[in-house]
Each structure stands twice: as structure tokens, then as C-alpha cells.
């Protein structure tokens, strides 16, 4: 820390984003910045341009004097306002990371991301301790996939789930209003089906038939087609909702792009198109494939108020934790849903969440293609409970 003109020791802080942005990742950034300004104990507020890439290049933005009204707009800005990346740091990269931290005299480092980002955050903390560097390292959870361990849920999930639920319901109404084809909706979720499960809300909001398939349960294509044929025959329309990472009994994705991302993960995609093709070829039923893709994670009009509020508080809490001298921790959420939803924040060691993946509970998957009400008891408070009430005249 450096001494300011008033004699008080002030901190320099660094914020970075990692992995795929969400609709509320910038809201957490807003929480960090506004809490830093309110504390009166922070001198410089830096942000890494495009996450780890910016740290390695020493390419930091100075947010210290950015007008308050611009920072306030972060709450309504999708994607990452400071840039993110999928760069997986190697052991050779970490000395360069520490060089940047030393060059800019950083006292607290905040990394906002998911599983891989928490691993990076943990390794930075371990190296700082090893080097005797006085650095506070705090992880800020972010992932629409909702697959971080320990925390009840992750900022970004509630809004993505709300988007999935309402968009699936709109498609279901279209499928039942003109029931001449099967609509297959592909939603994001490489290994965890949390967001796709939210799409099963369509079965509760509409009268359309719906089948839902998550990556946690392997799909037998023959059984899937038989179920599709049976539900479609009822004449009420059919929406088939699938996770992009759905696999067959052999453990291989139904559709494989053949591309690997910067974290070493196989990039899924094309699942809905593949299933639609099978429906038309083997059942002789017209089918349409729909894939909102990135819209499912960055849509601001579908932001959940609960998600946005918690994302801000997570950022604020991270800054306040660093001011208390905490390090090697990630901010996590504990939630109580009855009689009324409320949540509180706490810290959990980074070592316990780094690279750990929370899968969708198998007991919430019924017959391999339906989602139990227990999931919606869990998820509806996070999505915002004011769902549309549709008119049914038929």
C-alpha cells in the first residue's frame, strides 16, 4: 500500500473477468468499483483488459476516475465491459502475472469467473504466498452454468434460467398453435443441465407437450425418438429441450464441433440440428431446430432482479473482504427459500471450488426426460417469480 496525501494508506486493486460473460457480470464489477470508492481506502482501481490476457501483457485500464454515471450503467450492459478471455494459464505464465501485480503495486486481486477461473485465482494466491507477496486474492463467482461447488447458486444463472424458461414457453406456444412440426430447442450447458432444466418451465406455463434432456443422463436415441413420436401423436404440439452437451450411451456428444476452447474443453454445438434431422429421417415428422446461443446468457431484458441484486452484492462483499485482510477465498451464497427467499454471503476457500463441477441432481430428473418440481422450488426465486400468464382459448 502507498501513503496518500492525507497520510492514510490506500490500496491499489485489480479486477479481471474470465470465461464466458453473463448478463450480470458487469453488475459485480459495479459492486467492486462502487464499494472501493465508498470505502475511502482505495487509491487505484485497475481492470485487466480481456482478463488473463491483459494481465500477461500488463494491459490494465484505470477505472479510478471513470464518472459515477458510467459505472452505474454497468448494471444494464451485457457481456464484459472490460473484456474476458478463455486463456488457461500455464506454470510459465504465473511469474509474468506476479510481475504485473508488482509493477502496478496491486494490493488486492479479484477474479470474476467460473471453475477454471477459480483455479487460476487459487494458483495466483498460492504463488503470492510462496513469494511472500502481501496480496489479497478473492474470487467472485460467475457462471450461467451454475456449476460451482459450495455456493447455493452462481450470479448469472438466474437470468439465464429466466431467459430459458420464457423463451421455451414462447416456442412451446408456437409449436402448439401450429402443431405440424416438433421444435427442438438447444440451450447452453456443456456438462451441467441447470439452464436447460429451467426451459422445462414451458410444460408448466403452456399446454404443449415437452421432453427435456440434460447431459447428466445419457440419451438412447431409439428411446428418445419413440418418446417424441408418442408425445407428438397427442396433437398438442411438442417442444424438445436439450442441453448442447447431451451425450449418447458411449459418452460421446450427439453433436461434436471438433473444436477445443482455450481451457481445453470440447466446444459443443449442433445438438438440436442433429436431433431434428433424426426426427425427420426416422419418424417422417417435420422438425425445426432452434438455438438462441449467446442470447441466452447476455440478454438484458430477461435479467432477473434477484440475480442482478446478488451479483452486485457479491462484488461489494469481495471488496470488503479484501479490506478486512481476507485472501485465498471465493465469495459464496447461502440461500433460504421458505417462508420467503433470502440469501447471505460468506467466504469459502478457493481450493475447494477450483476446477470442481456441480452437476444437476439426478433425483431431479424423472424418467430421463422430465424435470421434478423440486428443481423449480430451488430455481424460481432466482429467476424471478413473475412469469407470464398466457391465454388459452382452444
Q: What CATH number did the domain enclosing 174 receive?
A: 3.40.50.460
Is the model's pLDDT at 7 over the cut of 80? no
| Residue 393 placed within a domain | no
Instruction: Identify whether residues 53 and 109 lie together within a single domain.
Output: yes
Total of domains in the chain:
2
Domain range enclosing 376: 160-300+359-383
pTM of the model: 0.94
Is 190 assigned to a binding site?
yes
- Is residue 143 a known part of a binding site? yes
Residue 224 in any domain: the answer is: yes
Query: Can you tell me which residue has the cell 496518500?
Result: 4
What is the CATH classification number for the domain harbouring 151? 3.40.50.450
Are 188 and 318 part of one and the same domain?
Answer: no
What does the pLDDT look like over 167-222, one tens digit per residue?
999 999 999 999 999 999 999 988 899 999 999 999 999 999 999 999 999 999 99
- Cell numbers placing 84: 474476458
Residues 170 and 120 in one domain: no
Q: Is residue 391 part of a domain?
A: no
Can you tell me the distance from the alpha carbon of 124 to that of 104, in angstroms, rounded to the nearest whole number? 16
Co-location of 92 and 123 in the same domain: yes
Asked whether residue 254 falls in the same domain as residue 165, the answer is: yes
User: Is 115 annotated as a binding-site member?
Assistant: yes
Q: Are residues 112 and 131 in the same domain?
A: yes
Residue 244 in marked binding region: yes
Contacts of the segment 388-393: beta carbons below 8 A, 24+ positions apart: 388/166, 388/169, 388/205, 390/169, 390/173, 390/205, 390/206, 392/207
Asked if residue 388 belongs to a domain, the reply is no
The residues carrying an active-site annotation are 145
Nearest 5°: the CA angle 233, 236, 238 is 75
The answer to the question of whether 9 is labelled as a binding residue is no
Does residue 96 sit in the same domain as residue 228? no
In a shared domain, residues 192 and 336: no
Please indicate, yes or no, whether residues 228 and 376 belong to a single structural domain of this protein: yes
Judgement on whether residues 311 and 294 belong to the same structural domain of the protein: no
Q: Name the grid cell of 151.
A: 455456493
pLDDT digits (tens, 9 = 90+) for 312-360: 999 999 999 999 999 999 999 999 999 999 999 999 999 999 888 899 9
Query: Residue 189 annotated as binding?
Result: yes
Amino acid at each position: 500500500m502507498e501513503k496518500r496525501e492525507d497520510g492514510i494508506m490506500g490500496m491499489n486493486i485489480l479486477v479481471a473477468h474470465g470465461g464466458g460473460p453473463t448478463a450480470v457480470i458487469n453488475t459485480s464489477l459495479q459492486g467492486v468499483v462502487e464499494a472501493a470508492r465508498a470505502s475511502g481506502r482505495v487509491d487505484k482501481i485497475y481492470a485487466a483488459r480481456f482478463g488473463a490476457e491483459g494481465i500477461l501483457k500488463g494491459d490494465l485500464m484505470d477505472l479510478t476516475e471513470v464518472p459515477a454515471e458510467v459505472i452505474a450503467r454497468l448494471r444494464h450492459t451485457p457481456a464484459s465491459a472490460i473484456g474476458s478471455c478463455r486463456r488457461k494459464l500455464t506454470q510459465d505464465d504465473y511469474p509474468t502475472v506476479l510481475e504485473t501485480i508488482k509493477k502496478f503495486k496491486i494490493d488486492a486481486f479479484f477474479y470474476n469467473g467460473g471453475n477454471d477461473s477459480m483455479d487460476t485465482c487459487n494458483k495466483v494466491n498460492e504463488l503470492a504466498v510462496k513469494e511472500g507477496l502481501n496480496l489479497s486474492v478473492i474470487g467472485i463467482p460467475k457462471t450461467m452454468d451454475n456449476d460451482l461447488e459450495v455456493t447455493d447458486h452462481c450470479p448469472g444463472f438466474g437470468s439465464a434460467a429466466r431467459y430459458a424458461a420464457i423463451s421455451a414457453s414462447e416456442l412451446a406456444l408456437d409449436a402448439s398453435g401450429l402443431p405440424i412440426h416438433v421444435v427442438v430447442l438447444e440451450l447452453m450447458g456443456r456438462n451441467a443441465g441447470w439452464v436447460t432444466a429451467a426451459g422445462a418451465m414451458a410444460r408448466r406455463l403452456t399446454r404443449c407437450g415437452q421432453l427435456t434432456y440434460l447431459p447428466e443422463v445419457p440419451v438412447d436415441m431409439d428411446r428418445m425418438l419413440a418418446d417424441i413420436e408418442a408425445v407428438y401423436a397427442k396433437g398438442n404440439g411438442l417442444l424438445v429441450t436439450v442441453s448442447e452437451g447431451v451425450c449418447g450411451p458411449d459418452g460421446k456428444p450427439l453433436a461434436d464441433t471438433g473444436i477445443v476452447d482455450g481451457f481445453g474443453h470440447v466446444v459443443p454445438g449442433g445438438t438440436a440440428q442433429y436431433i431434428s434431422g433424426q426426427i425427420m429421417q426416422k419418424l417422417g415428422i417435420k422438425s425445426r431446430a432452434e438455438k438462441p446461443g449467446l442470447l441466452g446468457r447476455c440478454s438484458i431484458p430477461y435479467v432477473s432482479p434477484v440475480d442482478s441484486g446478488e451479483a452486485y452484492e457479491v462484488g461489494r462483499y469481495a471488496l470488503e473482504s479484501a479490506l478486512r485482510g481476507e485472501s485465498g477465498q471465493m465469495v459464496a451464497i447461502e440461500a433460504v427459500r421458505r417462508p420467503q427467499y433470502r440469501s447471505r454471503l460468506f467466504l469459502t476457500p478457493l481450493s475447494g471450488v477450483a476446477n470442481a463441477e456441480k452437476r444437476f441432481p439426478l433425483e431431479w430428473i424423472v424418467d430421463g426426460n422430465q424435470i421434478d418440481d423440486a428443481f423449480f422450488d430451488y430455481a424460481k426465486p432466482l429467476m424471478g417469480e413473475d412469469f407470464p400468464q398466457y391465454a388459452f382459448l382452444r
